[in-house]
Amino acid sequence: DAGVIQSPRHEVTEMGQEVTLRCKPISGHNSLFWYRQTMMRGLELLIYFNNNVPIDDSGMPEDRFSAKMPNASFSTLKIQPSEPRDSAVYFCASSRTDSGANVLTFGAGSRLTVL
Amino acid sequence: QQPVQSPQAVILREGEDAVINCSSSKALYSVHWYRQKHGEAPVFLMILLKGGEQKGHEKISASFNEKKQQSSLYLTASQLSYSGTYFCGTGNSGSARQLTFGSGTQLTVLP
């Protein structure tokens, strides 16, 4: 199993540019989560999907952030326009919610720097 | 509301023991523990469900006191490989969908 795959691993962009982060969850996992990690705020849940449907996006900071999951094997997190305060490590994680006490498997993360 | 972890950081020598605490102001159903090494993704260690159970993973064990809304992670005879940041995630179900993570405890094990 290749685990949760995220791309790109590093992204440096200028303020105002559009950023798209990608995630491929583990095959057979039916829940997908996007987290943001910063020194100041720690690990914050942005949005999660269950069976490709967004269930809770209350953690999405503002309208500049959007996430999609067009099928069970792919999700994107888009920031448009990006701002310096969006600089963080963005993690995607997946889990199986039909296995009782399910746990998260995280991807390696995408480190975003907005100049 | 974010659970509170203590201490924020701990430094110990190889072979020493450490305890990391996690407390919540809300009633808990489950506590998840993860470890993150520098520059890497958090990795699942164990999950505890209400009932005050203890679990173990190698020389790492944990307890969960649902009445006190607290969990503790015990690292026995620490190894260099234990270094990293430990996060507790608390939830009101066993599901990972409702986890709220603490700010982390940075553990450094020195030779």
pLDDT in tens, B36-61: 999 899 999 988 887 656 666 678 99
Q: What is the mean pLDDT of residues A47-65?
A: 91
CA distance A53 to B26: 28
Q: What is the pLDDT of residue B48?
A: 87
> What letter represents residue A93's amino acid?
A
Q: How far apart are CA A30 and CA A35, in angstroms?
A: 17
Count how many pairs of residues, chain A against chain B, have C-beta atoms within 8 Å: 54
- Beta strands at A88-95 and A105-106: parallel, antiparallel or unpaired: antiparallel
Measured in whole angstroms, the distance separating CA B10 from the mean position of its chain's CA atoms is 13
Partner A, chain B 28-67, Cβ-Cβ below 8 Å: 30, 32, 34, 40-44, 47, 49
Cβ within 8 Å, pair B41-A109: yes
More confident site: A113 or A104: A113
- H helices, E strands: number in chain A: 0, 11
* Whether B32 and A103 lie within 8 Å, measured CB to CB: yes
Say if the Cβ atoms of B43 and A106 lie within 8 Å.
yes
- Does the pLDDT of residue A74 top 80, yes or no? yes
Q: Is A33 on the interface with B (CB under 8 A)?
A: yes
A50 contacts in chain B (CB < 8 Å)? 97
Confidence at residue B71, expressed as pLDDT on a 0 to 100 scale:
92
Mean pLDDT value across chain B? 88
Distance between B25 CA and the closest CA of chain A, angstroms: 18
Contacts of A83 by beta carbon, 8 Å cutoff, 6+ apart? A15, A64, A114
CA nearest neighbour of A4 among A19, A22, A17, A18: A22
Whole-number CA gyration radius for chain A: 13
Low-confidence ranges of chain B (pLDDT < 50): none
**B63 class by beta-carbon count within 10 Å (0-12 exposed, 13-18 middle, 19+ buried):** middle
- pLDDT in the model for residue A64: 95
CB contact under 8 A, A48 and B94: no
In the numeric block, which tokens belong to residue A12?
């440096």
Which residues does residue B34 pair with via DSSP β-bridges, in sequence order? B44, B87
The residue in chain B having the minimum alpha-carbon distance to the alpha carbon of residue A91 is: B41
Q: At A98, list the tokens.
A: 């039909």
Within 8 A of A93 by CB-CB distance, chain B residues are 96
Q: Return the higher-pLDDT residue of A8 and B94.
A: A8
Residue A46 pLDDT level (bands cut at 50, 70, 90) = very high
* CB-based contact, B13 to chain A, within 8 Å: no
Residue for token digits 């699942």?
A: B44
**Structure confidence at residue B27 (pLDDT):** 82
CA distance A71 to A76: 11
